Amino acid sequence: MQSVIPDYLAEALGDVESDTSGEPADYIPELATADPELLGAVFATVDGEVYGAGDIDTEFTIQSISKPFVYALALTDRGFDPVLAKVGVEPSGEAFNRISLESDTGRPFNPMINAGAITTHSLAGPAGMDPQERVERVVRGLSAFAGRGLRVDERVCVSEMEHAHRNLAIAYMLRGYDILIEDPRVVVEGYTRQCSVLVTARDLAMMAATLAHRGVNPLSGERVVSEPVVRQVLSVMSTCGMYDAAGDWATQVGIPAKSGVAGGLIGALPGQIGIATFSPRLDPHGNSVRGVSLFERFSSDMGLHVMEVPAAARATLRSNHVVGSGPDAVRVLQLQGGIGFAGAERVVREAVTTAPTETRVALDLTMVYVVDDVARRMLLEVVRRLTLDGHQVYLVDPDAIMPDPDPGDGGRVTVVSEVGQGVVPPREAAPRRGRPEEGGGVPGS
């Protein structure tokens, strides 16, 4: 069977193809020569699967899509405080190249507008790094996000530098406020090289998937940046990534995103996928017209809005039933899915409201695929309190989803691989895997 996803992507491209509104960016002359008909879309999953349709291997310059990634590099290389001292995290609601800075501090509002991005470029690499080496650090860092070696398009870089008057004006203002402490022209040259790095839609989807995958590139397995850095970057992307269209985007699409004036657009959905589209015609905000339509469609077709309420918490407790009878009876709380705070809270509540009368209590994790850190601590605390209340507690965990479970002070837990093993005699084994238990009785007796 062929995967349905490339067909879905091809159909989505077909639907937006007839929209020829907007124009390729022309303030950088070299970008105006782009073929406006180019169109591609890619999904990259956090486990490295790539689905694409259309022009997904055509190279174009990354432009502003470099901004979140270089912000991530600056946070990694310098730490949060030094970066936050120079660049804020407030949406400016203004165009990307607006010459505006916070009135008191002179700080750029955020790292997604040019003033902030020029500053974060200057903060990549260790303090005092030679500007040329800094550009190399940036290109290497972007390459690590993409999982392949990237290079600069010299023609676009020269073309942009010849018309970089606004960015130079911004940089000189930043120098005036001591936000930049080097020659503004040198920083703008480095920033322009950063914007001229060539990528494909496939690369961009993988870069976004690295953010979606907590900073680890799904293909190379390399940890590019830490989880706190990813959280910071995705937060800023979701509030400031789409310039003055950020509010519309947040409500209609709801995926942390970043656009670039060469026609690229990325979205990163934490824990799920990285998405990239490419189409050079831009709307008045500087965002790709067809890219925005595609993202609107992806978000509504597949429920990808980050504020979409997950069903997981409600469904965590699959059943609460008793296996066996008399002194052999075991109270089994059967859990399922991925368990975070809300799911663990559901288990805590169940343990409190239906205080088990059976001596033996089992938490059955057979159908659980992940328990996050807070849920782990909460479940272990449930185990500890049940022990203190006089119960014998078992963890049914055949796949070691919760390795080394230590409930701490006064708690005790026995790990078994099925309910029948060491918890109840085999003839009274648990319900078959994958089938909901109807409750009550002893199967097969």
The verdict on whether 64 is a catalytic residue reads yes
CB of 60 to ligand GLU, least distance (A): 11
CB nearer ligand GLU, residue 259 or residue 316: 259
Please tell me the distance from the alpha carbon of residue 398 to that of residue 420, in angstroms, as a whole number.
12
CB of 78 to ligand GLU, least distance (A): 22
Please tell me the distance from the alpha carbon of residue 303 to that of residue 295, in angstroms, as a whole number.
11
Contact pick of 41, 142, 157, 195 for ligand GLU (by CB under 6 A): 195
Please tell me the distance from the alpha carbon of residue 115 to that of residue 117, in angstroms, as a whole number.
6
Contact yes or no for 210/274 (Cβ under 8 A): yes
Based on the number of CB atoms within 10 Å of its own CB, is 319 exposed (0-12), middle (13-18) or buried (19 or more)? middle
CB of 83 to ligand GLU, least distance (A): 19
Question: How large is the angle between the packed helices 289-302 and 4-16, nearest 10 degrees?
Answer: 140
Please tell me the distance from the alpha carbon of residue 303 to that of residue 158, in angstroms, as a whole number.
42
Q: Which of 83, 243, 383, 394 is the catalytic position?
A: 243
Contact yes or no for 142/206 (Cβ under 8 A): no
Contact pick of 114, 143, 288, 316 for ligand GLU (by CB under 6 A): 114
**β-bridge partners, 339:** 371
**3-state class (DSSP) for residue 366:** strand
Minimal CA–CA distance to 380: which of 346, 356, 404, 353? 404
The verdict on whether 27 is a catalytic residue reads no
CB nearer ligand GLU, residue 261 or residue 396: 261
N- to C-terminal Cα separation, the chain: 43
CB nearer ligand GLU, residue 63 or residue 387: 63
- Near ligand GLU in 131-150, by CB under 6 A: none
- HSE (side-chain half, CA atoms, 13 Å) at 119: 30
Identify the helix (H) or strand (E) that includes residue 321. strand 317-323
The verdict on whether 416 is a catalytic residue reads no
- Near ligand GLU in 240-299, by CB under 6 A: 260-261, 286
CB nearer ligand GLU, residue 113 or residue 317: 113
Structure tokens at 57: 């291997």
CB of 165 to ligand GLU, least distance (A): 11
The verdict on whether 67 is a catalytic residue reads yes
Residue 119 binds ligand GLU (CB under 6 A): no
Q: Which of 51, 67, 152, 188 is the catalytic position?
A: 67
The verdict on whether 259 is a catalytic residue reads no
CB nearer ligand GLU, residue 164 or residue 375: 164
- Near ligand GLU in 148-167, by CB under 6 A: 160, 167
CB nearer ligand GLU, residue 283 or residue 345: 283
**β-bridge partners, 52:** 42
- Near ligand GLU in 290-349, by CB under 6 A: none
Structure tokens at 393: 């507690």
Residue 96 binds ligand GLU (CB under 6 A): yes
Query: Under the rule (CB under 6 A), what is the footprint of ligand GLU?
Result: 63-64, 96-97, 114, 160, 167, 195, 260-261, 286
Q: Catalogue the active-site residues.
A: 64, 67, 191, 243, 261
